[in-house]
């Protein structure tokens, strides 16, 4: 999977690129409007992370160019501008999602994976593992087609597990996926323990073919049950 990161802030650009490379993506970057325009005209990408305010031009103009070229690259706008007009303009021009700075890398990675899955599945944004299906846009979960009743935090945790299957995730990463940077470390880690415990119980009672396993000294991972 190939991703283009269009961001003029050097430290943030390098941090995002390093994080995506750890996720095994092929990553290219552009620091200004014209270098981004060259890459967009020369290459196809599975996802483009696009800042609005760029040296030399606007990210919205890059969106217009993608629309003119009838391109199908998924686009995630990342911008410090928390303006409703910018969001509406970007989405109307073809952007698939909008993330306001500052954001946590765990959320960014999850959204990118969701967009790529949607692109691969012709617009279907459901996420499946075993007999478990999540609908992120509706915040709903099902096991074998039957609704799984989860509170908001339980759903957020389960979604983060499902988009990172078979991966050991430490408690702090889980806490950050739910609260972002606005967390109280001690309280949130205790809360994660209780929420994961409840989540494991609900999955088991519903007959899910996936389970959250504790990895002693490291954290948790979600994997399919051998049946």
* 100 vs 98: CA distance, rounded Å: 7
Sheet of strand 140-143, all strands in order from the earlier edge strand to the far edge: 127-129, 132-135, 140-143, 146-147
DSSP single-letter state for residue 48: E
**What value does the mean pLDDT take over residues 1-23?**
91
Hey, do 2-120 and 127-224 end up sharing a CATH topology, with the first three levels equal? no
Q: Hey, which CATH number is domain 127-224, 3.30.230.80, 1.10.10.10, 3.40.1530.20, 3.40.50.1000?
A: 1.10.10.10
CATH superfamily label, 2-120:
Response regulator (3.40.50.2300)
Instruction: Extract the tokens encoding 211.
Output: 């389970």
For residue 206, the tally of other CB atoms under 10 A from its CB is 17
148-196-99 Cα angle (round to 5): 80
Domain boundaries, the chain: 2-120, 127-224
Residue 127's pLDDT band (cuts 50, 70, 90): confident
Residue that wins the pLDDT comparison between 2 and 34: 34
pTM score over 0.85 = no
Asked which of 58-62, 125-129, 159-163 is least confident by mean pLDDT, the reply is 125-129
The whole-number pLDDT of residue 2 equals 85
């Amino acid at each position: 999977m190939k991703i283009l990161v269009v961001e003029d802030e050097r430290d943030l650009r390098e941090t995002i690129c390093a994080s995506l490379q750890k996720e095994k993506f092929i990553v290219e970057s552009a620091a200004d409007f014209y270098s981004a325009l060259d890459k967009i005209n020369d290459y196809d990408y599975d996802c483009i992370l696009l800042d609005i305010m760029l040296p030399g031009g606007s990210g919205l103009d890059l969106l217009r160019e993608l629309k003119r070229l009838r391109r199908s690259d998924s686009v995630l706008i990342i911008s410090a501008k928390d303006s409703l007009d910018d969001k509406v303009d970007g989405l109307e021009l073809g952007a698939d999602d909008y993330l306001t700075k500052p954001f946590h890398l765990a959320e960014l990675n999850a959204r990118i994976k969701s967009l790529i899955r949607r692109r691969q599945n012709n617009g279907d944004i459901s996420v499946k593992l075993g007999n478990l299906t999540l609908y992120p846009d509706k915040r709903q979960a099902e096991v074998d087609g039957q609704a799984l009743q989860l509170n908001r935090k339980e759903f957020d945790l389960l979604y983060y597990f499902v988009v990172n299957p078979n991966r050991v995730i430490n408690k702090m990463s889980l806490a950050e996926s739910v609260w972002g940077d606005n967390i109280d470390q001690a309280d949130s880690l205790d809360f994660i323990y209780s929420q994961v415990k409840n989540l494991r119980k609900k999955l088991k009672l519903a007959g899910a073919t996936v389970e959250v396993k504790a990895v002693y000294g490291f954290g948790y991972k979600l994997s399919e049950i051998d049946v």
